[in-house]
Chain A
Amino acid sequence: MYAALWRILPGPAWVRVLILLALAAAVLYGLFWYAFPWAAQFITPQESTVGG
């Protein structure tokens, strides 16, 4: 899977590393800002009120 990703990227190794870093940053952003906040409501529901 990751080997295939490496193969389809163009350019010399350092360009591929840069592209991969950018991809990783994009994935992290998507996870931290969108995916995880959405998932959190199902994974860790919280009660902070009295009398529910």
Chain B
Amino acid sequence: MGESRPGSRRAARDVEATGATRPRRRASFLGVVGEVLITVGVVALLYVSWQMWIGDWIIGSEKHKEASALSESWLKPSPAPSASTTPEPTPSETAPSAVVVPVQDQQQHGTQFGVMTIPRFGPQWQFTIAAGTSRKDILGQGEIGHYVDTAMPGGEGNTVYAAHRWTSGAPFDPIDRLVIGDAIVIQTQDGWYTYRFRTLEYVQDTQVEVLLPVPQQVGVAANDRYLTLTSCAPKLNMLERIIAYAVFESFTPTADGPPASLAAPTVGASS
């Protein structure tokens, strides 16, 4: 309109611009919208990187701290009445499975009664175990959930745990890297229960038979001590479940100190 007219406001502003202070360009509506959109895009990308890498690292290290604090609290000699008297094995029986191990009662929902350590997953891998497998308050908080009414650690039958494979600290992210014979150690107030990994299986999410006292064996009474881990498979997906089975090896009372099974594994590829 008045671009060529010397007396226009535009011209006046140009003259002003040559002065000490630069002109204030009024933010255009579209410019602000563009900046908002760019910001939203950057935040979305940040979320993706958080989801894929950073978040699990942050939550995982927080959970590791929490788990080692809980673990240490059990190591301190305390006059806790529940520190069970560990029954001595009868001298004639030396097989580990013959040793009578203390087994806790089922715990109230949400109670952190154990700490899981799997040396194969590295020194930073340690998570608390809570009773129950609800998504929001247990699995979603980066804890390993103990299926209600499955055996407690060391108990006859099958002790079963679930955890996320990504997000929430992703406790079971490396579950498919387990090597046969790997130690899966559960520490409770009483001591350490060492299980040895046997095999992986992929099942549908309806396959509740993995929770049976003898996993996948309908109608068979408990005949040994099993441990089962469940998580989602394929990773980043909820179509199926990955199942890891282990069998009980030994129990080490707290008084005896950490068992050798907690040492880093020497066989198999570590990553």
Within 8 A of B (CB), among A1-42: 1-4, 7, 28, 31-33, 36-37, 39-41
Cβ of B265 under 8 Å from chain A: no
**Interface contact A40-B136, CB-CB below 8 Å:** no
- Cα(A51)–Cα(B189), bound, Å: 30
Q: Interface residue count for B (Cβ, 8 Å)?
A: 44
**Interface contact B206-A46, CB-CB below 8 Å:** no
**Interface contact B136-A48, CB-CB below 8 Å:** no
Residues of B within 8 A of A28 (CB): 46
- Cα(A32)–Cα(B56), bound, Å: 10
- Cα(A40)–Cα(B207), bound, Å: 27
Known: A4-B27, A32-B58. Is A46-B47 also a contact (CB below 8 A)? no
Indicate which residue in A1, A2, A37, A50 contacts B55 across the interface (CB closer than 8 Å): A37
Residue from B46, B50, B230, B241 whose CB has the most chain A CB atoms within 10 Å: B50
Residues of A within 8 A of B232 (CB): 46-48
**Interface contact B51-A47, CB-CB below 8 Å:** no
Cβ of B159 under 8 Å from chain A: no
Residues of B within 8 A of A50 (CB): 162, 203, 205-208, 210-211, 230, 241, 243
Cβ of B140 under 8 Å from chain A: yes
**Interface contact B162-A48, CB-CB below 8 Å:** yes
**Interface contact A51-B206, CB-CB below 8 Å:** yes
Flag the segment in B87-95, B119-127, B163-171 that touches A.
Answer: B163-171
Cβ of B147 under 8 Å from chain A: yes
**Interface contact A40-B55, CB-CB below 8 Å:** yes
- Cα(A49)–Cα(B50), bound, Å: 24
- Cα(A4)–Cα(B58), bound, Å: 34
Residues of B within 8 A of A39 (CB): 47
- Cα(A40)–Cα(B205), bound, Å: 22
Closest to A39 in B: B47
Residues of B within 8 A of A (CB): 24-25, 27, 31-32, 35-36, 43, 46-47, 50-51, 54-55, 58-59, 133, 135-136, 139-140, 145, 147, 162-168, 172, 203, 205-208, 210-211, 230-232, 238, 241, 243
Sample 14 A-B pairs with CB under 8 A, ordered by A number: A3-B25, A31-B43, A32-B55, A36-B46, A40-B167, A43-B51, A46-B139, A46-B165, A47-B205, A47-B232, A47-B238, A49-B139, A50-B207, A51-B205
The 6 closest A-B pairs by CB, nearest first: A51-B208, A1-B35, A49-B162, A47-B238, A48-B162, A36-B50
Residues of A within 8 A of B (CB): 1-4, 7, 28, 31-33, 36-37, 39-41, 43-52
